[in-house]
Amino acid sequence: KKNEKTSPEDLLFSYDGILYPAAFSSPETLEALKSFETRSSDVILAGYPKTGTNWLEQMVREIESTDAKYTEEEMKERINAEKELQMFPRLEFGDPGVFERMKKLPSRRIILTHLSPHLLPPSVLQGKAKILLLVRNPKDTAVSYYHFYNNMPVLPSFASWDEYFTAFMNGKLAWGSYFDHLMEWNRHIDHERMMMISYEELKENPVLGMKKIAAFFGFSLSEEEFSRIARKTSFQAMKEKSKETHGKFGDILFRKGVVGSWRDLFSEVQNEEMDQKFEECIGGTILATKIKY
């Protein structure tokens, strides 16, 4: 249940000009993050909120562990290390002590972040870790984030879609502007240890998408294994297990899982405004050709 009495100022805090949810992070955590050291075996998953990051994370975890063929003992060690962390590894989440606990995670660590490149600890882009960037079309991302904002007790609510739309266009949301995030990542797109994939291509052909991901990380799986993971990470399958995997946030995180649900909320004028902004920001780039909708 949303606590309407809590003011937005209490729910969000600003750090380096970007808003973050106080329930998930703190200025001290973001300060401590600066000294975070990557390992060359780290798998960094980057994406603006609501681009399907939990889905990608699940897929990559399945692909990685299938490739690694961990023994029972190793599996136990991995599960225990995550229990100590008390969450799936994320860069800008948790208390400031989280980074010390992350040092104890066995390789290969799979770490998610919604941060833009300039907010990342230097070792992410300068080190040898591989980065997989997830992108999703701006309209579905906006709609998904709207429902998330209005359903998550730890985020402030918007009185109307129109009011929210203005905030999205102006980047006045947690983790800042969708467009700035995308434009900034686009400058790193030729980085040899970076690859991008879109929500839309994963939806259209999950097995093909996973094969590209596996090739990038050097993971080797059979056809049958890819099909099994595609079934296990389908929207329906993940939604059914969401209570177990994501607790009380499960129902909010796994909403519709489709391409095109923006049509329910966008007015014609908003649609044109978004198209124009998208074109201005990243029109003509390779990234733009990836984002079809």
Cβ proximity of 84 and 101 under 8 Å: yes
Q: Which of 54, 113, 137, 177 binds ligand A3P (CB under 6 A)?
A: 54
Q: Using DSSP, state whether 90 is helix, strand or coil.
A: strand
| Number of residues near ligand A3P (by CB under 6 A) | 20
Tell me which DSSP letter residue 266 carries: -
Within residues 133-172, the interface with ligand A3P by CB under 6 A covers 140, 144, 147
- Tokens, residue 262: 């923006």
Q: Compute the half-sphere exposure of residue 57: CA atoms within 13 Å on the CB side of its CA.
A: 23
Q: How many residues does the chain have?
A: 293
For 34, residues 6+ apart whose C-beta sits below 8 A from its C-beta are 121, 122
Cβ proximity of 184 and 117 under 8 Å: yes
Measuring CA to CA, which residue among 142, 159, 152, 115 is closest to residue 11?
152
Cβ proximity of 73 and 227 under 8 Å: no
Answer yes or no whether residue 26 interacts with ligand A3P by CB under 6 A.
no
Q: Which of 88, 216, 235, 266 binds ligand A3P (CB under 6 A)?
A: 235
CB of 50 to ligand A3P, least distance (A): 4
Q: Which of 55, 164, 179, 278 binds ligand A3P (CB under 6 A)?
A: 55
Residues known to be catalytic? 114
CB of 156 to ligand A3P, least distance (A): 17
Stretch that binds ligand A3P, among 2-10, 65-73, 75-83, 256-264 (CB under 6 A): 256-264
Cβ proximity of 67 and 108 under 8 Å: no
Stretch that binds ligand A3P, among 49-57, 117-125, 158-166, 281-289 (CB under 6 A): 49-57
Answer yes or no whether residue 261 interacts with ligand A3P by CB under 6 A.
yes
Q: Would you say 85 or 252 has its CB closer to ligand A3P?
A: 252
Measuring CA to CA, which residue among 105, 183, 139, 181 is closest to residue 274?
139
CB of 54 to ligand A3P, least distance (A): 3
Cβ proximity of 83 and 75 under 8 Å: no
Cβ proximity of 135 and 287 under 8 Å: yes
CB of 181 to ligand A3P, least distance (A): 12
Stretch that binds ligand A3P, among 173-181, 184-192, 228-236, 274-282 (CB under 6 A): 228-236
Q: Which of 29, 32, 49, 120 binds ligand A3P (CB under 6 A)?
A: 49
CB of 290 to ligand A3P, least distance (A): 17
Judged by the rule CB under 6 A, the positions of this chain that interact with ligand A3P are 49-55, 140, 144, 147, 233-235, 238, 253-257, 261
